[in-house]
């Protein structure tokens, strides 16, 4: 007997009457196959949700579900017997991206493939014409994904800097003497570090989700919706800066306890709720004063729950077409095949620990030291060396970091990100070739170069990335080379080498460059022992 569920908006072709074509079992098959194929990405996603900045993540699928059911309830889905070609293309693309993520062992890429996969299922089940109606809810799922770490670090650093400057401006506005040194707010008796956790990302990420929801539910022109969503960025930055400024004022009057514990946590929630209220107030302003001749709506936000769950009651009667069934079977087979594939064993790497790097060579005398515990934790390196070298009154600081894997975990922290956070003003970074002699042969080493200054101190900085026998200067090139080598040789280890030398009051930059080049002449030939190339694997 044909099933007509037009009243629920879940109409299906009437010729699909066989029990084995009911959609619910095939949805379960598609879910099981996706769990197997995208497993590493889903596990990584759950781990990301345990971090404070992504703790809102479990709410995103629930909000997406509400947006989807609301759309079906408002506008019942019409039968679409047309081609499912676009859905199949998106399905193939999602599997290709997921496979790449699995091969290079980068969970973020796997989760991107998973989001595409969900979109493909919608298109295959509802059809191209009707399926594209659900793009607001589907695209909303992007907000549950963590940013790639190297992008996260850059965004976080920029927001830390902006929030610090604006927060200090607020403190100065209430006539409190304050000095900003990098991300450190100096109140005289007390010093406050605007850490990564205070950058505002903890509010920005969930506010993106809520801003998108408000924009979708907003009863007004589309350009209003765009303005509401985009305004989440300045609203978050300004309110987070206000929060930092308020903490500075409270600390100045009542002591350092005002920046710690429950009060700090409570202030964060107050700011987030305030940001959400500001977005709603902005929507109200737009709907009242910026309609330009359009009739004023009766309501600003329509969030109706009555009858929204009705389509779920008829889900067991819904039918699946051949394309959806084929995709469900294929993803299940692909997932089982991937789970049965033996895990790639990381290639053995024979190297010396950085702790045994020589402290004496060619007249240079070195003294090793350790990083501050907080900096060491943020750095996240598996091995590192920090040392000061001297020769004939000349000074060079050396920092080397090593990571066993650069496809998972925090990855390398570039000096371009870390130095500004330490209060250094940095000139424009540029790539510069340095010619050194290795085993009697000239060799060109490309480095990133900049002059940094803090107060009266000036220093010249060179750095590059040691990547399995390659010396690279670009963060994106490092990421792609690590992905390629994970597949090619089963390795993604590597690290960073940074050398810094102070510039004397009357010293020319050229003189400092000669000093660093002489120092590199002595250390570069030793680096393969600590950063082995592919040809040195055991």
Tell me the per-residue pLDDT of 177-232, one tens digit each, with 9 for 90 and over. Answer: 887 776 677 777 777 766 655 666 777 888 889 899 999 989 888 899 999 999 99
pLDDT at 419 over 50: yes
H/E segment holding residue 109: helix 107-126
Please, which pLDDT band fits residue 16 given cuts at 50, 70 and 90? very low
Task: Locate 508 and state its tokens.
Answer: 């020319």
Q: What local confidence, expressed as pLDDT, does residue 15 receive?
A: 46
Looking at residue 255, its pLDDT comes to 74
Higher pLDDT, 376 or 384: 384
Kindly state the average pLDDT of the residues 446-458: 87
- Answer yes or no: is 299 within a domain: no
Q: What is the Cα–Cα distance from 501 to 504, expressed in whole angstroms? A: 10
pLDDT for 158 equals: 79
Report the pLDDT value the prediction gives residue 389, as an integer from 0 to 100.
Answer: 95
Q: Which residues share a beta bridge with 319?
A: 22
- Are the C-beta atoms of 45 and 145 separated by less than 8 Å? yes
Nearest partner of 495 among 528, 521, 523, judged by Cα: 528
Who wins on pLDDT, 227 or 149? 227
Of the two residues 306 and 91, the one the predictor is more confident about is: 91
Q: Is 175 exposed, middle or buried (0-12, 13-18, 19+ CB in 10 A)?
A: exposed
523's CB contacts (< 8 A; 6+ apart) are: 361, 398
Would residue 118 count as lying in a domain? yes
Question: Same structural domain for residues 142 and 179?
Answer: no
Among 8-22, 191-205, 433-447, 449-463, which is the least confidently predicted range? Answer: 8-22
Mean pLDDT of the 128-139 span: 90
Under 8 Å CB-to-CB from 37, ≥6 apart: which residues?
95, 98, 102, 331, 334, 335, 338
Q: Domain for residue 235, yes or no?
A: yes
- Judge whether 76 and 8 are in contact, CB under 8 Å: yes
* 321, pLDDT greater than 90: no
Q: Are 434 and 465 in contact (CB under 8 A)?
A: no
Residues 505-518, mean pLDDT to the nearest whole number: 87
Amino acid 535: pLDDT: 53
Question: Please, are residues 252 and 176 in contact by the beta-carbon 8 Å criterion?
Answer: yes
Does pLDDT of 288 surpass 80? yes
Mean pLDDT for all residues in the chain: 84
For residue 213, give every residue at least 6 positions away whose Cβ sits within 8 Å of its Cβ, in sequence order, or none. Answer: 63, 67, 140
Which range (44-53, 95-104, 209-218, 344-353) has the least confidence?
Answer: 344-353
Structural contact between residues 370 and 387, judged by C-beta atoms closer than 8 angstroms: no
Structural domain boundaries, residue 106: 6-146+309-340
Task: Output 498 or 363, whichever has higher pLDDT.
Answer: 498
- Reported pTM: 0.76
Over 80: is that where the pLDDT of 47 sits? yes
282 within some domain: yes
Cα 180 to the chain's mean position, in Å?
27
Q: Give domain status of residue 301, yes or no.
A: no
Do 398 and 530 have their domain in common?
A: yes
The confidence score (pLDDT) of residue 97 equals: 96
Q: Is the pLDDT of residue 5 over 50?
A: no
257 and 165 share one domain: yes
Q: Is the pLDDT of residue 264 over 80?
A: no
What is the number of domains present in the chain?
3
Three-class secondary structure of residue 431 per DSSP: strand
361 and 510 share one domain: yes
pLDDT value, residue 520 = 93
Same domain, 114 and 54: yes
In a domain, 348, yes or no: no
Confidence of residue 536 (pLDDT cuts 50, 70, 90): very low
pLDDT attached to residue 421: 63
The answer to whether 158 and 166 have CB atoms below 8 angstroms apart is: no
pLDDT at 252: 79
Minimal CA–CA distance to 492: which of 481, 504, 503? 481
Residue 461 · residue 398 · CB < 8 Å: no
Report CA-CA distances (Å) from 450 to 299, 462, 512.
Answer: 55, 7, 12
Structure confidence at residue 31 (pLDDT) = 95
State the pLDDT confidence band at 12, using cuts at 50, 70 and 90: very low
Q: Which of 159-173, 291-305, 506-520 has the lowest mean pLDDT?
A: 291-305
Q: Is 8's pLDDT higher than 50?
A: no
Helix (H, G, I), strand (E, B) or coil at 5: coil
Residues 11 and 127 in one domain: yes
**Which tokens go with 499?**
């050398």
In this prediction, residues 353-381 reach a mean pLDDT of 88
Q: Does residue 296 belong to any structural domain of this protein?
A: no
State in Å, rounded, how far the first CA of the chain is from the last one.
68
Same domain, 379 and 470: yes
Q: Is the pLDDT of residue 62 over 70?
A: yes
- What band does 1 get if pLDDT is binned at 50, 70 and 90? very low
Q: Are residues 110 and 170 in the same domain?
A: no
Give the pairing type, strands 494-502 and 383-391: unpaired
The full 3-state SS of 245-307, as one line of letters, equals HHHHHHHHHHCHHHHCHHHHHHHHHHHHHHHHHHHHHHHHHHHHHCCCCCCCCCCCECCCCCC
* Axis crossing angle, helix 149-173 with helix 201-217, rounded to the nearest 10: 100
376 and 437 together in one domain:
yes
Residues 402 and 335 in one domain: no
The pair of three-digit structure tokens given for residue 465, joined into one six-digit string? 């990335």
323, 375: one domain? no
157 and 122 in one domain?
no
Quick one: tokens of 10?
Answer: 């879940």
Give the distance between the most distant pair of CA atoms in the chain: 95
Amino acid 34: pLDDT = 96
Residue 295 lies in a domain: no
| pLDDT (0 to 100) of residue 19 | 61
Helix (H, G, I), strand (E, B) or coil at 48: helix
Burial label for 144, CB within 10 Å (0-12, 13-18, 19+), is: buried
Contact 44, 108 (CB under 8 A): yes
């Amino acid at each position: 007997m044909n099933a007509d569920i037009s009243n629920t908006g879940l109409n299906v072709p009437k010729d699909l009457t066989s029990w084995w074509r009911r959609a619910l079992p095939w949805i379960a098959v598609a879910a099981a196959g996706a769990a197997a194929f995208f497993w590493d990405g889903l596990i990584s996603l759950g781990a990301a949700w345990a971090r404070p900045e992504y703790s809102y993540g479990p709410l995103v699928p629930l909000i997406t579900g509400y947006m989807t059911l609301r759309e079906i309830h408002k506008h019942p889905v019409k039968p679409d017997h047309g081609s499912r070609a676009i859905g199949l293309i998106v399905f193939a693309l999602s599997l290709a991206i997921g496979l790449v993520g699995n091969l290079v062992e980068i969970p973020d890429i796997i989760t991107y493939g998973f989001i595409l996969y969900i979109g493909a299922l919608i298109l295959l089940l509802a059809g191209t014409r009707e399926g594209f109606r659900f793009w607001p809810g589907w695209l909303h799922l992007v907000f549950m994904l963590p940013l790639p770490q190297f992008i996260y670090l850059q965004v976080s650093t920029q927001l830390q800097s902006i929030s610090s400057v604006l927060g200090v401006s607020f403190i100065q506005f209430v006539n409190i003497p304050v000095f900003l040194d990098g991300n450190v707010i100096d109140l005289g008796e007390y010093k406050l570090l605007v850490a990564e956790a205070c950058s505002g990302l903890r509010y920005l990420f969930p506010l993106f989700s809520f801003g998108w929801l408000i924009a979708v539910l907003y009863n007004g022109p589309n350009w209003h919706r765009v303005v509401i969503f985009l305004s989440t960025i300045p609203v978050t930055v300004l309110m987070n800066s206000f929060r930092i400024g308020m903490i500075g004022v409270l600390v100045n009057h009542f002591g350092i306890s005002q920046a710690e514990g429950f009060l700090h946590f409570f202030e964060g929630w107050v700011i987030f709720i305030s940001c959400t209220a500001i977005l709603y107030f902005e929507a109200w302003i737009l709907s009242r004063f910026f309609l330009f001749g359009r009739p004023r709506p009766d309501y600003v936000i329509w969030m109706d729950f009555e009858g929204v769950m009705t389509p779920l009651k008829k889900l067991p009667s819904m039918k699946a077409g051949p394309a959806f069934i084929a995709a469900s079977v294929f993803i299940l087979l692909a997932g089982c095949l991937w789970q049965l594939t033996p895990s790639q064993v990381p290639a053995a790497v024979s190297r010396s620990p950085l702790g045994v790097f020589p402290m004496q060579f060619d007249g240079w005398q070195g003294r090793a030291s350790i990083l501050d515990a907080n900096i060491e934790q943020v750095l996240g390196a598996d091995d590192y060396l920090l040392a000061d070298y001297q020769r004939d009154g000349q000074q060079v600081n050396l920092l080397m970091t090593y990571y066993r894997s650069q496809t998972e975990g925090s990855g390398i922290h570039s000096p371009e990100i870390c130095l500004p956070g330490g209060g250094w003003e940095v000139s424009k970074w540029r790539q510069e070739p340095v010619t050194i002699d290795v085993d009697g042969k000239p060799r060109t080493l490309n480095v990133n170069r900049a002059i940094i200054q803090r107060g009266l101190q000036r220093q010249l900085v060179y750095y590059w990335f040691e990547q399995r026998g390659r010396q690279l200067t670009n963060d994106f090139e490092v990421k792609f080379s690590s992905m390629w080598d994970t597949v090619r040789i089963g390795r993604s280890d590597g690290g960073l080498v940074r050398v810094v030398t102070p510039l004397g009051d009357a010293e020319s930059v050229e003189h400092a460059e000669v000093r660093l080049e002489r120092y590199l002449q002595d250390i570069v030939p030793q680096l393969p022992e600590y950063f082995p190339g592919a040809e040195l694997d055991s």
